[in-house]
Amino acid sequence: MRNTVPCTLRLEEEMYSRIKEIARARHTSFTGFVQGVLADVLKKEEQNSLYDAFSQAGEDHDSADVGFAVSAQREVIERHE
């Protein structure tokens, strides 16, 4: 089992009730539902960070220049012909 850390989460009563209803409808616990939602948020954040990093790399044209590799690629292709 994974290591878990207990925490206190304060929610408005209406939100708490809604989450309990949704969790029950999905046949999971309140905690399981909240953990799933938070896991989805963390995954989305990671995807956004990767997208931003790749976008930034694509904007830096000087470091993205692959012209230096053209002759090496040509050499490999010509060997296999």
What is the average pLDDT score of the chain? 86
Whole-angstrom distance, CA of residue 51 vs CA of residue 17: 36
Q: What is the pLDDT of residue 62?
A: 64
pTM as predicted = 0.61
**pLDDT attached to residue 1:** 53
Ranges of H-type helices in the chain: 13-25, 30-59, 70-79
pLDDT digit string (tens) for 52-71?
A: 777 776 666 666 667 777 78
